[in-house]
Amino acid sequence: MSTAEFFTIKSPSGLEAVLSSLGACIMSVKTRDRAGTLGEITLGFDTPEESANNPMSFGVTIGRVANRIGGSRFTLGGKVFELPANEGPNHIHGGPNGLSTRVWDVVSHTDDRVEFAIDSADGEMGYPGNLHTTAEFTLDDGGLQLAIRAVTDAETVVNMTNHAYWNLSGFTRDILAHELQIDADEYTPCGFNLIPTGEFLPVAGTPLDFREAHELGERIAETAYGGYDNNLVLRDKSRALRRAATLSDASTGRTLTLHTNAHSLQIYTGNGIPPTRGHGGVEYSRYWGIALEPQSPPDAPNRPEFPSIALRPGETYEQITRYEFGLLG
C-alpha cells in the first residue's frame, strides 16, 4: 500500500484540520474552547506511519456502502451480488478492502480545501459497475464541509459516510458527559448481528430519544450493545442540507452542529475502541469518541421499506456533511 500523505488546511480565524489521502480521512480538527485555547477534538494520529494502523476507522470516508449488508449479498436488477463477509456473516463498511482502506489520489490542495478522488473497478468487493468517487473538504471560520460525489457506468449501490470520532473535551476525558440532541423521531430497530428488521419505530420511551439534549452516559446502560450503535431517521425528509444534530461539552464550552442531506444518522459511542495510542500519545479507549455518521439506513439494498441507494449511469450520488463548530452561550 502506498504511504498516506497529510494535508493541513486552515480558516482565517485559525481553525485547523489535517486530512489524509489514506481513506480520504479527517485525521485532525482543532478548534478553540471558551478560554480561546486551540485543542484537538477528533480521534486520529500524528504521522502517516501511525495512521496506517487505524483499528476503528478513525476519520475515514467509508464506501462503497457504509454500515452493514446482511448476509453479505444483495439483489439488483434481478441479479444476486455476493460480497466478502468481514463482520461475522455480514458485509460492513465496503468490505475488508473498501475505499476507506485505500490511498486516494489528490486532485487539488489549497490553504482551505483538499479534494481527493478514487476509482473502484467493476467487481471490486463484489459491487457492480466502475465507480468514480471524489471527496472534497473545505474549511471556513464556521466549520468543515465534506462533499462526497460518485458516478458509475453500470447500475450499482452507493451509501457513503465519514467515520470521524469527536471528543470536544480536548481528550481530558471520555464523551459520556457530552450532551447530544438529534432531530429524529424514529429509528430503525435491529435484530441479530445489528441487521435492521425493516421497521421504523418511535424513539419516544427509549434511550434513543435525543429530541431534547441528554448526556450520552445518562441512559447508556439501557442500550442493547453496551453503548449506542443505532440508526436514527431524521425528521426533515426533504434531503436538503439541514441541521441534524448538536453535540456539546460543558467542560470546554465547545459545540459541534452537524448538517447533512442524508436520510439518517448512525450514532456510535466507540463501544469497541481498543487501547490505541493517538494524538500526542493519548490512549484512546472505550467511549473515547462518538461517531456521527450521516447515511441511508443499514442493509438498504435488502430492505424495500428503506429508501433506495441504487445509482445508475447518468446520475450523480452526492452526500454533503457540514460540521459547524461553536461555543455554548
Q: How many Cβ atoms from other residues are within 10 Å of residue 319's Cβ?
A: 24
H/E run at residue 49: helix 48-51
Q: How far apart are CA 18 and CA 114, in angstroms?
A: 10
Task: Name residue, grid cell 478548534.
Answer: 31
Q: What sign results for the dihedral spanned by CA atoms 267, 72, 318, 23?
A: positive
Enumerate the active-site residues.
163, 293
> 242 exposed, middle or buried (CB, 10 Å; 0-12, 13-18, 19+)?
middle
Q: Are 208 and 187 in contact (CB under 8 A)?
A: yes
Q: How many Cβ atoms from other residues are within 10 Å of residue 86's Cβ?
A: 16
Residue 262 grid coordinates: 442524508
User: 179, 164, 167, 177: which is closest to 282 by C-alpha?
Assistant: 167
